[in-house]
Structure 1
Amino acid sequence: MNGITAWMEKYLVPIAAKIGSQKHLVALRDSFIGMLPATLAGAMAALISAIVTTFPSALQQMIQGPTKAAASAAAGTGWTLANTPVFKELNNISGLVNQGTLTVIGLIFAFSWGYNLARAYGVNDLAGGIVSTATLMMGLPNQFGRFTTALANIGGMDKATGASKANDAVNTVLSNQFIATWKPGFAAGQLDAGAYFTVMIMGAIAVIIYAKLMLADITIKMPESVPPAVAKAFLAIIPTIAALYIAGIIYYIVNTLSGESLVFLIQKYIAQPFQILSQNIISVLIVTIFVSIFWFFGIHGPNVLSPALDGIWGPLGLDNMNLWNKIHTSGIQHLVANGATSRAHAINGEYVNIWVRGSWDAFAWFGGSGGTITLVLAILIFSKRKDYQIVGRLGLAPGLFNINEPVLFGLPVVLNAIFAIPFVVAPLVAVVVAYVATALQLVNPVVLAVPWVTPPIMNAFMATGFDWRAIIIAIINLAITFFIWAPFVIAANKMEEADLD
């Protein structure tokens, strides 16, 4: 064990330290963290809507059974809060909150990414956020052009002039109304988490160009008499114009040569392959292992791997949530039952992701990375060491809300050779159990973005759209991780006895 630890300290820790300090990755990590208030607000709105519109019927299904519950719903006698005063309004308000957060989370990420990247370069961070946001909007396909092309293809509108080609009066009126009222714009669906990869690539290019020009002092300098805010804005004018025009040239050339928008190409050839690979159990286990290994050496694993966890699995979780809001639990179960768990096997263009960012929190990282709430329980039950008992009691309350730093650094678990094995193995086993259970339709996939501070068991129940089977899977995994941790806690007692002798 000492040999393995020494090898990792020599070869792995320096790599992790470089990753953790690389300014672009740090900026990316900080960008996701910076979005946390908006993400949690949107998640809370989605949960409220889920409780109001779905949870009562789910509870009724548990009490009456699927057949009777379906009959009650068809007869209009099903118990629901959605049509109840106050709850109805609360649901509508939550929809507005969701619309301003998760529906346009890609736009929010664009500003956060540009802001943090510019700050990493030491230049005007506000202008960096604006450059990144503008770069995303520049690349979005114009909905006016797409709509007129679609009408031309079905014979409803002339592609060149926009005039109606329809012979019947109804189509003529509809086409003329469209010309009179439609304004160029963008679909909200292009501003959600699907924009992440476009933002990460094109936003980085534009902001780095902007930052380099700022650092090269290719700017407009104003007299000292000019107010600082105005002078600061003028400094960013030339770098901003140059960055946006270069990004625009890239968009234009790609669109001209390929006939497709760069946003679509990035999604198809970069984002989709990563997302497909992410649904493989091997990929999930690799990330799980490295989160534990980084934490063992005192490096915040989820933060280091945030570009993967939040950049790849995060959008998949939002995709599941959007799908669940549309087709609800019965629709999710239908897709999984028919194998629609990947884009290649989609049914009517819809498919469910088996594993998403929230799946770790729901089924593996109980009390934080490593499943350390079960370590605390094992300490309180089996440990004879006074120092462990003190830390265990102090770490119990934070651990219930998935905050495990008091335990990781208080026992410590960090660089503690005896706890290295369970810290890595416990979440691995839990991930395998949850992944297999989801794939075998024993539990619904995670479809709701639950705040990470939600206590274990409740997290799994809420995240799966209030699937009661998630409670059973969570309890099973808690028991498994507890029994993995317990022998090592007992072994720590013997180590203390040996030290005293």
Structure 2
Amino acid sequence: MENSKFVEKMSAIAFKINSYKYIIAIKNAFASLLPIIITGAFATLFSNMVFDSVNGLARFGPLAFLEQMKPISQAINYATMNLLTIAAVFLIGMEVANLNKLKGHFAGLLAVVSYIAVIPTTIEVLTGEEQLVEVANVIGSDYTGSRGLFLGMAVAILSIELFTWLTNQDRLQIKMPDSVPSNVSRSFSALIPTILTVTAMATLSFLIQLVTGMHIYEIIYSLVQRPLENVVQGLPGVLLLMFVAQVFWVIGIHGNQMVKPIREPILLAAIAENTTAFEAGEAIPNIINMPFWDIYMSMGGSGVTIGLLIAIFLVSRRKDFRSIAKLSAEPGLFNINEPMIFGLPVMLNPIMAIPFVLTPLVTGTIGYFATAVGFAGPAVVMIPWTTPPILSAYIATAGSIGAVITQIVCIAVATLTYLPFVQVSNKAVTIEEAEKEKYGEERTESATQVK
């Protein structure tokens, strides 16, 4: 009874979080953004592993012509990874507007305009003489790339909420005659709210800088984004995030969806930074990022259930376990494990819940230290989460054999972790069958005596 109440309470919390408007907007926006991030990541992969004359295929004489194609991949990388925040602002603005019952794409454009209105358009450039020179009318990559994400998210939400409120004020709407085409009429209706929104955002940025002496970007990045990055991109933080996700899975709630609003902006920004550094030939800054989560902590799906599948095939004598495992094997290779979680089930199963929660924490720790000591290469390429194990480690790390070996070790550790619990399940079903036989015999004897 107490367990049932706990599950109901957690389900209510999960529903409340997932139904929060801004959480929905951010999740939907980053889901739409993934193809852009993956495109940029693969452009970087080709740039370095195919078109590069030092490390890529272009270093071989017959394939030297490939180097001439490198500007193509560099252009794609710039258009995707270096403009990540601009794309995110547009999509979040649209999502918030849709939730506010505003139709069309204009809100996304307005969010981008509002964001550009609050960021500096002057940057300092170091010349060949080691002198700093101010360059006006340009936008620095810090503001358009991953570092500007949190400010961009805040501006997108704030600007569209303000625009929505202003749009609903009848006295601010310019009414046009019925003879005017509807698209022209809508443009004039949005005119005053647009002017007031962009002006308000620019003024807010100006006043903050005037009062604090710091730009709003510096405040948001230093007080919000950087501390969150330090937590989530550190081993204790990512393990805590995974632990929370696993606990939600165990009680029947999609754990990844629960942690997504915290995980996605930070870990996607981390892989974007890694990709940019890899393209520039610089040191890779982040061990923990989105592909790290996928290749070391979610092989076969949440809970590293590829280990559970192998353990069942090795030692399980239960027909139900083996049947579910056979059905789950194919989707499991692509990291889809809902059949295991809800069919075995792992959910609300006190025996399987223990390794399900603990295994990704162990494999994540192994992956972290293998990368930290240099045995495994860091992830530099954003890959689809459905990429099969082994291949995922190889592609995400741009060909690191150490990462592939580390992932194999993690799968082996996961299998060993699940094995004793599968064996306990074997004993549990044996006891259950014995009890059924015992009570069945007693019922037969009782029936005979009655006769």
Q: TM-score w.r.t. structure 2 length?
A: 0.86
1:96 maps to: 75
CA RMSD of superposed structures (Å): 3.0
Residues 397 and 224 of structure 1: is their aligned pair in 2 closer, same or farther, counting only changes over 3 Å?
farther
Gaps of 5+ in 2: 437-451
2:101 is equivalent to residue 122 of structure 1: yes
Residues 125 and 482 of structure 1: is their aligned pair in 2 closer, same or farther, counting only changes over 3 Å?
farther
2:262 is equivalent to residue 308 of structure 1: yes
Residues 223 and 301 of structure 1: is their aligned pair in 2 closer, same or farther, counting only changes over 3 Å?
farther
Residues 477 and 256 of structure 1: is their aligned pair in 2 closer, same or farther, counting only changes over 3 Å?
same
2:25 is equivalent to residue 46 of structure 1: no
Per-residue CA deviation, residues 53-107 of structure 1 (Å, 9 max, x unaligned), is: 579948xxxxxxxxxxxxxxxxxxx972698266335543222222221121111
Per-residue CA deviation, residues 267-326 of structure 1 (Å, 9 max, x unaligned), is: 222211221223332211110101112222333222222222111222122112211222
For the Cα contact (< 8 Å) 1:222–1:231, is it kept in 2? yes
2:88 is equivalent to residue 109 of structure 1: yes
2:228 is equivalent to residue 274 of structure 1: yes
State the shift of 1:7 in Å: 6.2
1:138 to 111, 114, 117: 117
For the Cα contact (< 8 Å) 2:245–2:256, is it kept in 1? yes
Residues 383 and 82 of structure 1: is their aligned pair in 2 closer, same or farther, counting only changes over 3 Å?
farther
Over the matched positions of the two proteins, sequence identity in percent amounts to 29
1:198 to 148, 151, 165: 151
Per-residue CA deviation, residues 201-242 of structure 1 (Å, 9 max, x unaligned), is: 122111111122234555334444444433333333332222
1:442 maps to: 375
For the Cα contact (< 8 Å) 2:51–2:66, is it kept in 1? no
1:235 maps to: 189
The residue type paired with residue 270 of structure 1 is: V
State the shift of 1:402 in Å: 1.6
1 CA distance for matches of 2:60 and 2:262? Answer: 38
State the shift of 1:481 in Å: 0.8
1 CA distance for matches of 2:79 and 2:392? Answer: 24
1 CA distance for matches of 2:273 and 2:382? Answer: 10
State the shift of 1:40 in Å: 1.9
1 CA distance for matches of 2:84 and 2:400? Answer: 26
For the Cα contact (< 8 Å) 1:81–1:88, is it kept in 2? no
State the shift of 1:376 in Å: 2.1
2:418 maps to: 485
Residues 211 and 451 of structure 1: is their aligned pair in 2 closer, same or farther, counting only changes over 3 Å?
same
Residues 285 and 384 of structure 1: is their aligned pair in 2 closer, same or farther, counting only changes over 3 Å?
same
2:360 maps to: 427
For the Cα contact (< 8 Å) 2:232–2:241, is it kept in 1? no
For the Cα contact (< 8 Å) 1:111–1:130, is it kept in 2? yes
State the shift of 1:353 in Å: 1.9
For the Cα contact (< 8 Å) 2:167–2:190, is it kept in 1? yes
The residue type paired with residue 317 of structure 2 is: K
1:341 maps to: none
Q: Secondary structure at the match of 2:50?
A: helix
The residue type paired with residue 134 of structure 1 is: V
1:248 maps to: 202
2:329 is equivalent to residue 396 of structure 1: yes
For the Cα contact (< 8 Å) 1:114–1:207, is it kept in 2? yes
2 CA distance for matches of 1:453 and 1:472? Answer: 19
State the shift of 1:397 in Å: 1.9
2:255 is equivalent to residue 257 of structure 1: no
User: Which is worse superposed, 407-416 or 39-48?
Assistant: 407-416
The residue type paired with residue 48 of structure 1 is: F
State the shift of 1:413 in Å: 2.6
| Count, aligned residues | 432
2 CA distance for matches of 1:273 and 1:413? Answer: 35
1:185 to 128, 135, 138: 138
1:460 maps to: 393
1:318 maps to: 272
For the Cα contact (< 8 Å) 1:44–1:451, is it kept in 2? no
2:248 is equivalent to residue 294 of structure 1: yes
Residues 211 and 382 of structure 1: is their aligned pair in 2 closer, same or farther, counting only changes over 3 Å?
farther
1:283 to 222, 237, 246: 237
Q: TM-score w.r.t. structure 1 length?
A: 0.78
1 CA distance for matches of 2:288 and 2:197? Answer: 37
Residues 257 and 99 of structure 1: is their aligned pair in 2 closer, same or farther, counting only changes over 3 Å?
same
State the shift of 1:372 in Å: 1.6
User: Which is worse superposed, 416-425 or 255-264?
Assistant: 255-264
2 CA distance for matches of 1:214 and 1:418? Answer: 55
2 CA distance for matches of 1:447 and 1:54? Answer: 16
1:219 maps to: 173
For the Cα contact (< 8 Å) 1:43–1:451, is it kept in 2? no
State the shift of 1:194 in Å: 1.1
